[in-house]
A and B are shown apart, each in its own frame.
Chain A
Amino acid sequence: MRPIGRAMMRVIRGYAREIMLAAIVLVLVLSVGARAPVFLTFESLNGVLTDSAILAMMALAQMMVILIRGIDLSVAANLALSGMVVALLSEQAPNLPIIGTILVAAGCGAVLGFFNGFLVASIAIPPIVVTLGTLAIYRGLVFVVSGGRWISSHRMPPAFLDFPHETFLGVSTLVWIAALVAVATAVFLGRTRVGRGLYAVGGNPVAARYCGIDLGRQELLVFTISGAVSGLCGYLWVARFGIAYTEIALGYELSIIAACVIGGVSIGGGIGTVTGTLLGALFLGVVVNALPVINVSPFWQMAISGMVILTAVVINARTESRKGKLILPEARRAAAGGSL
């Protein structure tokens, strides 16, 4: 019994932040449900999940970039550009199968992400500068490729539009895709050598280099993944809302980073979990969906998420510093006991 109890304690301690965040999300959902029971119905909660799906995927990709001390500000522009490319493609080739559309969207995004990664890894420009530049470039290219047009739903083929809305076991495709991305990210970060290497680089780039980890290749990889996910979300966004134009998802990069920060990803690199980031995105999704239900003006949304971000970073800063102090006594105990 005792080893199991200790293992459980270790899990609880390791995931303290995630458990707390999950509790907060749960309390939030329940208290909104107490005022408006309609919020707790399956349809409504399913809607919250569907609404958070794109944000969750984008936040997971952003987390990988932040893990190695980078940042990708170009994701929302990438989403808009890839979304516009597939919208134009669907207009020209209405019979293209959905899998083809998804591959084109993700591929287009990956190329744009690779360009970021190339500038960061090979020319050694700081990520924030690169993506600040490509943010403007990609957003402008949306206008250039579309000629400033709006592509609305009646120009898109039905199969293209219906895909994100289709349901499987009562849950929309969007949520299933997000779940798939989350599982893939968790396996990649937790179970592969390259994925563990991202944490190593973020924790201590110099030490990681002495361990033989190639930072440049990691940067290329992570920015390409971030781009590919943005491209995929570009298609999903355009198909879900049935419209593509230059300004879609304008400023969305900051909501994405906010979801990461709420989820406990440290902007200094090396710290962040899939669960935490998913909860961060879910939290923002719940707030957005709960406000109209409890008759609060949607104009409150921004101010509330601002306060949440600030609270989250203050709490995270505390837990991070506490963690640093805990290591020593544990190490001493392990050394005294003589066992691992």
Chain B
Amino acid sequence: MSEPTRYQVLDRAPTRWSDRALRWETILLALVAVVVAVNTVQSPYFLDVYNLSDMTQNFSEKAIVALGMALLILVREIDLSVAAIVSVASLGIGFAAKAGISPPGLFAIGIVIGAVCGVLNSFLVTAFGLPSIVVTIGTMSLYRGIAQVVLGDQAITAYPSRYTDLAQTFVLERPPLYLAFLLFIMLAVVFAAVLHLTPWGRMLYAIGNNPVASRFSGIRVERIRFILFVVSGALSGLAGALLTARIGSTRPNIALGWELEIVTMVVLGGISIRGGSGTVPGVVIAILLLGLTTFGLTLLNVPGIVINVILGCLLIAAIAAPIVLARARLASAARLH
């Protein structure tokens, strides 16, 4: 109702300067520029390559999960069980590490466990036609419950350094990059290419805008939903493998509350919560914006929870501003006539 652009179909890419300037991604980029400029003035430690690289460690795992979440929200679904899948994947990795499995095997196990959890989610959503928000609140409880039942108040900390080094040391020296961030960038390129350059990606937009019409035009809506939940689960499993390696321990409360942070990344990135609009580059820029803001505020010794207040305001302001502006423009146009 309040989004007049939602059902607008463009025959060609917007080419006018004003079209480009008013795009969501441009606004986000401008915000990133402001954050970088302010932080550079505020702290001499901000524009240090090693500091910036360390900064990426704080969000890369969440960012990887956010890519899968973005596609799900695009087709009007949501997966709130992602953080719980991280905990189950970490649990499986813990047992595999005890059994002496090599680091690549541990990553594979994490991804497979995540994918299996994703299959259960998608089965419940597609086979019974249930709303995904309810299903994944249930499976969130179930998956994290499994981690709690198995671990109790214990933790698994016996990880080989060959595994933890993968996430704790630079995988590239020049420029200094961590594995999680490198994987995120590579996955983001793949996701952007699939979503924006292939017919499959166009189908996701079609489903997000009108699932019924999509079904009648021959798109296998249920199958695509199924695949997206499995992808989201597998990415969560990958994130679980990276996080476990980075912190070197598995506890039942690992990644607690991540699901809401990840949804925030996606929504700030311009993916409409009602589905059908938004881009992968937008999400990537939003993730960088959130990461840089957090990092800058941390350098200024702002406590983490106060940073959350600022990020919450940023989310609401960023979503509200275009709506308020559009309304003001409409009002002034009405006055001219």
Q: Which residues of A does B touch, CB under 8 Å?
A: 71, 73, 119, 123-126, 128-130, 132-137, 139-141, 143-144, 148, 246, 250-251, 254, 257-258, 261, 267-268, 297, 299-307, 309-310, 313-314, 317
Q: Which residues of B contact A306 (CB under 8 A)?
A: 138-145
Q: Which of A134, A144, A250 touches B316 (beta carbons < 8 Å)?
A: A134
In the complex the two chains form, what is the Cα distance from A302 to B87 in whole Å? Answer: 13
Closest to B310 in A: A140
Tell me if A254 and B312 are in contact (CB < 8 A): no
Residue B1 CB within 8 A of the other chain: yes
Q: Which residues of B contact A254 (CB under 8 A)?
A: 80, 137, 140-141
Main secondary structure on chain A at its contact with chain B?
helix
Closest to A215 in B: B1
B-side interface residues, number (CB < 8 Å): 49
Given contacts A136-B309, A137-B313, A251-B257, whether A125 and B319 have CB atoms under 8 Å apart is yes
Given contacts A246-B305, A299-B148, whether A132 and B315 have CB atoms under 8 Å apart is yes
Residue B185 CB within 8 A of the other chain: no
Closest to B138 in A: A309
In the complex the two chains form, what is the Cα distance from A123 to B134 in whole Å? Answer: 26
| Closest chain B CB from A73 CB (angstroms) | 7
In the complex the two chains form, what is the Cα distance from A129 to B130 in whole Å? Answer: 21
Given contacts A302-B145, A317-B128, whether A137 and B312 have CB atoms under 8 Å apart is yes
Residue B122 CB within 8 A of the other chain: no
Mark out the residues of chain B between 279 and 335 whose CB falls within 8 Å of any chain A CB in the assembled complex.
303, 305-309, 311-313, 315-316, 319-320, 323-324
Tell me if A310 and B316 are in contact (CB < 8 A): no
Mark out the residues of chain B between 94 and 139 whose CB falls within 8 Å of any chain A CB in the assembled complex.
124, 128-131, 133-135, 137-139
Tell me if A129 and B319 are in contact (CB < 8 A): yes
Q: Which of A132, A299, A309, A313 touches B267 (beta carbons < 8 Å)?
A: A132
| Closest chain B CB from A314 CB (angstroms) | 6
Mark out the residues of chain B between 206 and 241 whose CB falls within 8 Å of any chain A CB in the assembled complex.
none
Tell me if B130 and A313 are in contact (CB < 8 A): yes
Q: Which of B124, B134, B252, B313 touches A133 (beta carbons < 8 Å)?
A: B313
Residue B152 CB within 8 A of the other chain: yes
Q: Which residues of A contact B145 (CB under 8 A)?
A: 299-306
Shortest 10 CB-CB distances between A and B: which pairs? Answer: A303-B145, A306-B142, A306-B141, A140-B309, A136-B312, A302-B145, A309-B138, A124-B2, A137-B312, A133-B316
13 interchain pairs (CB within 8 A)? A119-B316, A119-B320, A125-B319, A125-B320, A133-B315, A136-B312, A258-B138, A297-B149, A299-B151, A305-B141, A306-B140, A306-B145, A310-B135
Q: Which residues of A contact B151 (CB under 8 A)?
A: 299
In the complex the two chains form, what is the Cα distance from A71 to B260 in whole Å? Answer: 14
Q: Which residues of A contact B308 (CB under 8 A)?
A: 136-137, 139-140
Q: Which residues of A contact B305 (CB under 8 A)?
A: 139-140, 143, 246
| Closest chain B CB from A340 CB (angstroms) | 33
Q: Which residues of A contact B309 (CB under 8 A)?
A: 136-137, 140-141, 144
| Closest chain B CB from A319 CB (angstroms) | 12
Q: Which residues of A contact B140 (CB under 8 A)?
A: 254, 306
Residue B93 CB within 8 A of the other chain: no
Residue B202 CB within 8 A of the other chain: no
Q: Which of A128, A307, A309 touches B273 (beta carbons < 8 Å)?
A: A128
Q: Which of B124, B144, B257, B306 touches A302 (beta carbons < 8 Å)?
A: B144
Q: What is the count of residue pairs linking A and B with beta-carbon distances less than 8 angstroms? A: 143
In the complex the two chains form, what is the Cα distance from A128 to B315 in whole Å? Answer: 12
Closest to B311 in A: A136
In the complex the two chains form, what is the Cα distance from A305 to B141 in whole Å? Answer: 7
Residue B146 CB within 8 A of the other chain: yes
Q: Which residues of A contact B141 (CB under 8 A)?
A: 254, 258, 302-303, 305-306, 309
Residue in A135, A137, A258, A310 whose Cβ sees the most chain B Cβ within 10 Å: A310
In the complex the two chains form, what is the Cα distance from A137 to B312 in whole Å? Answer: 5
In the complex the two chains form, what is the Cα distance from A144 to B309 in whole Å? Answer: 10
Q: Which residues of B contact A143 (CB under 8 A)?
A: 303, 305-306
In the complex the two chains form, what is the Cα distance from A313 to B160 in whole Å? Answer: 42
In the complex the two chains form, what is the Cα distance from A307 to B137 in whole Å? Answer: 11
Q: Which residues of A contact B134 (CB under 8 A)?
A: 261, 267, 309, 313
In the complex the two chains form, what is the Cα distance from A166 to B96 in whole Å? Answer: 52
Tell me if B306 and A140 are in contact (CB < 8 A): yes
| Closest chain A CB from B205 CB (angstroms) | 18
| Closest chain B CB from A126 CB (angstroms) | 5
| Closest chain A CB from B155 CB (angstroms) | 13
Closest to A74 in B: B312
Q: Which residues of B contact A132 (CB under 8 A)?
A: 260, 263-264, 267, 312, 315
In the complex the two chains form, what is the Cα distance from A123 to B317 in whole Å? Answer: 11
Tell me if B149 and A299 are in contact (CB < 8 A): yes
In the complex the two chains form, what is the Cα distance from A73 to B133 in whole Å? Answer: 12
Q: Which residues of B contact A124 (CB under 8 A)?
A: 1-2, 323
Q: Which residues of A contact B313 (CB under 8 A)?
A: 133, 137
In the complex the two chains form, what is the Cα distance from A261 to B138 in whole Å? Answer: 10
Q: Which residues of B contact A299 (CB under 8 A)?
A: 145, 148-149, 151-152, 252
In the complex the two chains form, what is the Cα distance from A28 to B281 in whole Å? Answer: 51
Residue B256 CB within 8 A of the other chain: yes
| Closest chain B CB from A133 CB (angstroms) | 4
Given contacts A132-B315, A134-B312, A136-B311, whether A123 and B324 have CB atoms under 8 Å apart is yes
Q: Which residues of B contact A257 (CB under 8 A)?
A: 137
Tell me if B312 and A310 are in contact (CB < 8 A): no
In the complex the two chains form, what is the Cα distance from A313 to B145 in whole Å? Answer: 18
In the complex the two chains form, what is the Cα distance from A144 to B320 in whole Å? Answer: 24
Q: Which residues of B contact A303 (CB under 8 A)?
A: 141-142, 145-146, 148-149
Q: Which residues of A contact B133 (CB under 8 A)?
A: 71, 267
In the complex the two chains form, what is the Cα distance from A166 to B7 in whole Å? Answer: 58
Residue B20 CB within 8 A of the other chain: no
Q: Which residues of A contact B23 (CB under 8 A)?
A: none
In the complex the two chains form, what is the Cα distance from A257 to B307 in whole Å? Answer: 27
Q: Which residues of A contact B263 (CB under 8 A)?
A: 128, 132
In the complex the two chains form, what is the Cα distance from A283 to B276 in whole Å? Answer: 38
Given contacts A124-B323, A309-B137, whether A140 and B267 have CB atoms under 8 Å apart is no
Residue B6 CB within 8 A of the other chain: no
